[in-house]
């Protein structure tokens, strides 16, 4: 697996490139739909492929380990075959669950013990067994096991947490190098930079990550409660240190505006639950801002959601129909909203890529940004 950096913007740090994997090429900047449990919620693989044109999706180590469990994934021949998805997959390591399930886990030097949210059973995740699980899942990009601390963590905690993440990264790398892929395709391991909102910690963490010669690198621990401006500053600091010729993945981010701003600061890869989760909850992302389709004002709007979209759902169904479906809690509403939002996110990054290549990314971004943040 390797990354070709094609273009860098003159006025910003924005870049266009291609990440080559055994499951196909990924043109960056890219957005990766989140499919935690081996499914992008409410969206068929067929639609991901043909309507949304997703180039890579996510799975989650913690969730897939608990259910269906590694015996099933191994018997199926890996996650790609299990879920019928032949394009690349990236797996998060469970580091985010250290954050989001903070009430039911305990961190030690060795790893993190979780009390299962499904049946209460205890499971210990270590850097070593997380790599083993990701080998079994067979993801193209495996994420290192990290601790994702809250955005407002005090300096001392942030430093200790970062140092633990570094030691865990060392162990992840060791295990990574002493194990082999199980299904005949190449797998990469991405280190994760931590350090909260503290510039010196972010620098130190970026240097530690960069010291590992890996295909790509991730920036974690952002958009977890800190102000947006702080997030942008941290991205700038970290990307100033990470190797220029490798892709940078900003984990869990974000809004359309966040993504464009992060691209301008040199980020290449994104994932976020926002298009799917918010879609299921009635929010649509558009070039003119966000729409709450549950609002009464859409009751009589018989315009297609997006007449020029590559997704059939956008062209066929109207605002009024989607309003009705979501209000009625019909399953098709969840599907249409999810497809629309993912399609928009993929359009956002592919359009951004075009402008980077054409050389007018900065002015293009300035022209679309204000509208993206409007509430329609």
Stretch that binds RNA, among 10-18, 47-55, 58-66, 202-210 (CB under 7 A): 58-66
- What's the CA gap between 226 and 252, in Å, rounded? 14
Contact with RNA (CB under 7 A): which of 64, 283, 322, 368? 283
Stretch that binds RNA, among 175-183, 313-321, 325-333, 350-358 (CB under 7 A): 325-333
Stretch that binds RNA, among 11-19, 75-83, 202-210, 277-285 (CB under 7 A): 277-285
Q: What residues numbered 172-211 form the site for RNA, per CB under 7 A?
A: 192
Which is closer to RNA, CB of 308 or CB of 328? Answer: 328
Which is closer to RNA, CB of 308 or CB of 331? Answer: 331
**Cβ atoms within 10 A of the Cβ of 229, count?**
9
Which is closer to RNA, CB of 42 or CB of 356? Answer: 42
Please tell me whether residue 20 binds RNA under the rule CB under 7 A.
no
Contact with RNA (CB under 7 A): which of 178, 184, 307, 331? 331
271 included as an active-site residue = yes
- What's the CA gap between 105 and 270, in Å, rounded? 27
Please tell me whether residue 34 binds RNA under the rule CB under 7 A.
yes
Sign of the torsion angle spanned by Cα atoms 201, 93, 266, 271: negative
Q: Is 215 helix (H, G, I), strand (E, B) or coil?
A: coil
What is the largest distance, in Å, between two alpha-carbon atoms of the chain?
Answer: 61
- What's the CA gap between 86 and 167, in Å, rounded? 34
18 DSSP β-pair partners: 4, 27
Q: What residues numbered 206-235 form the site for RNA, per CB under 7 A?
A: 218, 220-221, 223-224, 228
DSSP alpha helices (H): ranges in the chain?
A: 45-50, 61-66, 70-76, 79-83, 95-100, 127-137, 155-178, 199-210, 228-239, 256-264, 274-280, 312-316, 319-327, 331-358, 361-372
Please tell me whether residue 278 binds RNA under the rule CB under 7 A.
yes
Contact with RNA (CB under 7 A): which of 282, 305, 322, 356? 282
Catalytic residue among 92, 140, 268, 306: 92
Stretch that binds RNA, among 19-27, 34-42, 233-241, 306-314 (CB under 7 A): 34-42
The token pair at 94 is 């469970």
Stretch that binds RNA, among 77-85, 92-100, 204-212, 365-373 (CB under 7 A): 92-100
Helix (H) or strand (E) holding 76: helix 70-76
268 included as an active-site residue = no
- What's the CA gap between 289 and 169, in Å, rounded? 39
- What's the CA gap between 77 and 69, in Å, rounded? 13
Contact with RNA (CB under 7 A): which of 327, 357, 364, 369? 327
Kindly report the length of the chain. 376
Contact with RNA (CB under 7 A): which of 16, 26, 58, 311? 58
Q: Is 325 helix (H, G, I), strand (E, B) or coil?
A: helix
Cβ atoms of residues 296 and 275 within 8 Å: no
Catalytic residue among 9, 146, 271, 314: 271
Residue 372 C-alpha from the chain's centroid: 20
Cβ atoms of residues 363 and 369 within 8 Å: no
Cβ 359 to RNA, closest distance in Å? 28
114 DSSP β-pair partners: 105, 123
Active site amino acids: 92, 271
> Which positions lie near RNA, rule CB under 7 A?
34, 36, 40-41, 58, 60, 63, 92-93, 95-97, 99-101, 103-104, 117, 143, 146, 148, 192, 218, 220-221, 223-224, 228, 251-255, 258, 271-274, 276-278, 280-283, 292, 294-297, 299, 327, 329, 331, 334, 375
């Amino acid at each position: 697996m390797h990354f070709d950096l094609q273009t860098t913007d003159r006025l910003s740090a924005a870049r266009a490139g291609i990440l080559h994997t055994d499951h196909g090429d990924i043109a960056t900047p890219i957005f990766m739909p989140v499919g935690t449990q081996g499914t992008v919620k409410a969206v068929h693989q067929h639609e991901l492929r043909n309507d949304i044109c997703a180039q890579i999706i996510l799975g989650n180590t913690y969730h897939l380990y608990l259910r269906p469990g590694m015996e099933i994934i191994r018997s199926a021949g890996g996650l790609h075959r299990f879920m019928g998805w032949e394009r690349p997959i990236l797996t998060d390591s469970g580091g985010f669950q250290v954050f989001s399930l903070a009430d039911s886990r305990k961190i030690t030097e060795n790893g993190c013990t979780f009390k299962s949210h499904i049946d209460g059973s205890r499971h210990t995740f270590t850097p070593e067994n997380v790599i083993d699980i990701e080998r079994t899942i067979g993801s193209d990009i495996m994420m290192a096991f990290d601790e994702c601390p809250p955005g407002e963590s005090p300096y001392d905690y942030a430093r200790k947490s970062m140092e633990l993440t570094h030691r865990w990264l060392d162990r992840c790398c060791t295990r990574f190098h002493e194990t082999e892929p199980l299904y005949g395709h190449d797998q990469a391991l991405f280190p994760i930079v931590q350090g909260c909102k503290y510039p010196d910690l972010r620098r130190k963490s970026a240097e530690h990550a960069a010291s590992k010669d890996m295909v790509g690198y991730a920036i974690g621990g952002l958009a977890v409660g800190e102000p947006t401006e702080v997030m942008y500053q941290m991205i700038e600091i970290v990307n100033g240190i990470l190797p220029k010729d490798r892709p940078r993945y900003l984990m869990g981010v974000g809004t359309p505006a966040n993504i464009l701003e992060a691209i301008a600061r040199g980020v290449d890869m994104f994932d976020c639950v926002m298009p799917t989760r918010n879609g299921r909850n009635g929010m649509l992302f558009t070039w003119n801002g966000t729409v709450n389709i549950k609002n009464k004002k859409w009751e009589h709007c018989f315009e297609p959601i997006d007449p020029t979209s590559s997704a059939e759902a956008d062209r066929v169904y109207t605002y009024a129909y989607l309003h009705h479906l979501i209000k009625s809690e019909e399953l098709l509403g969840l599907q249409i909203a999810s497809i629309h939002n993912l399609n928009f996110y993929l359009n956002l990054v592919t359009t951004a890529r075009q402008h980077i290549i054409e050389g007018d990314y900065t002015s293009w971004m300035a022209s679309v940004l204000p509208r993206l943040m409007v509430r329609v």
